[in-house]
Structure 1
Amino acid sequence: MTGSTLTLVISTPLDVIFRADDVYSVRAEDESGGFGILPRHVPMLAVLPACVLRWRRKTGDWSFCALRGGVLKVEGGKEIRVACRQGVLGSDLSTLERGVQEHLEAEDEAARAARVEQARMHVRAIRQIMLHISDGGGMDMDAAIDGLMQ
């Protein structure tokens, strides 16, 4: 390993999920294949598909982040910034795989709950419309809208 290091920053739209100033090397992949980055790398920009980003720190151990797509930027040969939609950190690939699976299951459950709530709201809106229609139109438009919002 060389004496100089890189700064690696991985962020999502909501948070910086990883930052370190003692990174010796980074491995990533784009649509053309895998590539590595060492200190003093030329400036570059890469669009990352869903992939696993790997880096090695002072300890010599590899660390990992499963990315759900993103953009990698190398600046000044000493800083790497990765902006991604989502990232799951892990210290070994088997743990990371389990973490990603749990994350996907949690997302699926949240999506399922959102669909159920959307269906409930849809049914409630239809009931309000049906009440308005069966009322013979006696309800004014403001009252109908208020009923839909409840």
Structure 2
Amino acid sequence: MKLLVTTPMSVILDRDDVTYIRAEDETGAFGILPGHADFLTVLSVSVVVWRNGTDTDHFIAVRGGIMTVRDGDTVEIATRDAVGDVSLDRLDVSILKRFREEDEAEERSRTSTTRMHLAAIRQVQHYLTANRGPIGPGALHPGGDAE
């Protein structure tokens, strides 16, 4: 199988001799073998394990991402950040911890930005409705004159 792992800035891995892939999404861990059915899934912050033709395991920590399987022989992972290594010991838990902390910080930032947008919309709405009286025949305008 072909395995392609990319970030917005680089190609992390491009191999044609992959015999097995293990990844993780919200539902848990799963494996991919040659001939797997086509699908698309959203990966969690996790370690992707892949095995080459010599049955050697390799590891890539991914900061979430999208995994697609096409034609049973092409697996592509698009992720925001990834770090690969041949040793799980060298691919330290701190990398996964850093990825999770960055995701949490981004979520807090999105929440804060959304709150600011909502506050601005409320202020505009308050301003627009503050000088508006009833609309219709006989209604008083803000200056007190009837229509």
TM-score by length of 1: 0.62
- Asked whether the equivalents of residues 88 and 99 of structure 1 are also in contact (C-alpha less than 8 Å), the reply is no
Aligned residues, how many? 100
* 1:29-40 superposed matches below 5 A: 29-40=24-35
Q: CA deviation at 1:100?
A: 2.5
Confirm whether residue 53 of structure 1 aligns to residue 53 of structure 2: no
Deviations 1:78-120 (A, max 9, x none): 000000000000111110117828x94xxx9xxxxxxxxxxxx
RMSD: 2.1
Aligned to 1:141: none
Look at both structures and tell me which one has the larger radius of gyration over its CA atoms: 2
Q: Distance in 2 between matches of 1:20 and 1:100?
A: 23
Structure 2 CA distance for partners of 1:76 and 1:36, relative to 1, 3 Å: same
Q: Give the 4+ runs in structure 1 shifted more than 4 A.
A: none
Gaps of 5+ in 2: 103-147
Q: Distance in 2 between matches of 1:32 and 1:98?
A: 21
Q: Which of 38, 49, 60 is matched with 1:65 structurally?
A: 60
Structure with more helix by fraction: 1
2:91 maps to a residue whose letter is L
Gaps of 5+ in 1: 1-5, 109-150
Aligned to 2:74: 79
Give SS of 2:78's match: strand
Give SS of 2:90's match: helix
